[in-house]
Amino acid sequence: MMRNAFTAARLASRNRAVRSKFLSTQVEQAPAEVTFDIAPFATHKIDAPEPRAVSNADELHGYFRSMYRMRRMEMESDALYTRQMVRGFCHLYNGQEAVAVGIEAATTFDDCLITAYRNHCQQLARGDTVESILSELTGRANGCSKGKGGSMHLYKPDNNYYGGNGIVGAQGPLGAGLAFAQKYNNTGKVSITMFGDGAANQGQIFEVINMSALWNLPTVFVCENNRYGMGTSTKRSAKSEDFYTRGDYIPGIRIDGMDVLCVREGMKFAADYARENGPIYVEMDTYRYKGHSISDQGLGYRSIDEINIVKASRDPIDRVKARLIEHGWATPKELKAEEKQIRKEVDAAVKVAETAPHPPNTDLFTDVYVGDPGFIRGTLATNGNSS
């Protein structure tokens, strides 16, 4: 424990020293773009892409702002839950932001996306607003699901985002169905089906991998391996922790899910493969800072030192900030100003989420049937009695 604490402190001190160095050093002329070395990809039944990514100031600024906005939104979701403004379950994404942002950087809204209940940041990445998402969490009529879905059921079908699904692993067959529609309609697009390392052990995941392989469906199976399924580590729950090999007869690739550039390049590779050849299994090596849900403190099965070491050495937002500063594309002061502006945006969204009206009682009967279902025995009240 003492060694881990010392390691975390040393990493944090080194990062502060690096930031201080860049603060005091003025770069005369920043490059237009830079080729970055990224973590090598591990692969199964396929050759690995080159571990390099080209980016520029505008791209990295965009990734930074998107990830920081996600982080602040999730922090405020936590605070709203603590104040009992959010009811039911609530699963936060702190630490995993590079996965959501990197996937969107590699694909378009014409590609389908479906995920599990840890889905706030995917909803934001698919074009929704912080106000709409937080309002949904607090059950307001202006929420993205009209206040009916809550934390686990967010959707944006106009941008081909299909949730937000509460049953562990059940989004797998739905994702394969979306891929079938893409192939049937000859769109040239893919379906990204996301699930966690816990859901990776569910039988339906293996079933839809089999169907996708039989029919050569353009399915990108994305396992977000954040190391813990609820409170159980992968070491205790998975005979093989190499999730990217789980597809067996389909290819797989493991990506550093804490680096947005690595996610972007790996997902480009995976999506290109799926479009031409059929399903591929992607493992995102990531980490969640918070518990499985807000009711889980996240400490009964791991140490604070473990969390702090990951934060100090692999935080996805800090990695982008370091690249911006290193290449003269931003100063720490400028990035702080951007963070302050984003905090103001999120704070304004919180106020709306706290005060917007709840759905009217009549909404209990809407969005249940398409059109008028007519008479349904036992459901219509007549003079206080059911007919």
pLDDT tens, position by position, 24-33: 444 458 999 9
Q: How far apart are CA 181 and CA 219, in angstroms?
A: 11
Residue 244 above 60 pLDDT? yes
> The tokens of 143 are what?
């929420």
**What is the pLDDT at residue 375?**
75
**What is the pLDDT at residue 253?**
98
Q: Which helix (H) or strand (E) holds 281?
A: strand 280-285
- C-beta separation of 230 from 302 below 8 A: no
Q: How far apart are CA 33 and CA 29, in angstroms?
A: 12
Task: Report the percent of the chain where pLDDT is more than 70.
Answer: 90
> The tokens of 180 are what?
């079938």
Q: How far apart are CA 80 and CA 87, in angstroms?
A: 10
Average pLDDT for 57-62: 98
**What is the pLDDT at residue 219?**
98
**What is the pLDDT at residue 309?**
98
Average pLDDT for 67-76: 98
> The tokens of 348 are what?
């304004």
Q: How many other C-beta atoms lie within 10 A of the C-beta of residue 200?
A: 23
**What is the pLDDT at residue 28?**
59
Residue whose pair of structure tokens reads 């479906």 in the numeric block: 114
pLDDT level of residue 9 (50, 70, 90 thresholds) = low
- C-beta separation of 63 from 275 below 8 A: no
Residues 128-164: tens digit of each pLDDT: 999 999 999 999 999 999 999 999 999 999 999 999 9
Backbone angles phi, psi at 132, to 5 degrees: -65, -40
Residue 112, SS3 per DSSP:
strand
Name all domains of the chain by residue range, CATH numbers in brackets. 2-386 (3.40.50.970)
Q: Dihedral sign for Cα 241, 112, 315, 330, please.
A: positive
Task: Report the percent of the chain where pLDDT is more than 90.
Answer: 86
> The tokens of 286 are what?
């990531």
CA proximity to 194, closest of 251, 290, 117, 262: 117
**What is the pLDDT at residue 14?**
57
> The tokens of 243 are what?
């999730």
Residue 200 above 80 pLDDT? yes
Backbone angles phi, psi at 265, to 5 degrees: -70, -40
Alpha helices in 51-129 (DSSP H): 57-82, 97-106, 120-125
Q: Give me the DSSP letters along 213-264.
A: HHHT--EEEEEEE-SEETTEEHHHH-S---GGGTTSSS-EEEEETT-HHHHH
Q: How far apart are CA 186 and CA 293, in angstroms?
A: 39
Q: How far apart are CA 238 and CA 164, in angstroms?
A: 25
**What is the pLDDT at residue 367?**
85
Q: Give me the DSSP letters along 189-222.
A: --EEEEEETTGGGSHHHHHHHHHHHHHT--EEEE
Average pLDDT for 174-178: 98
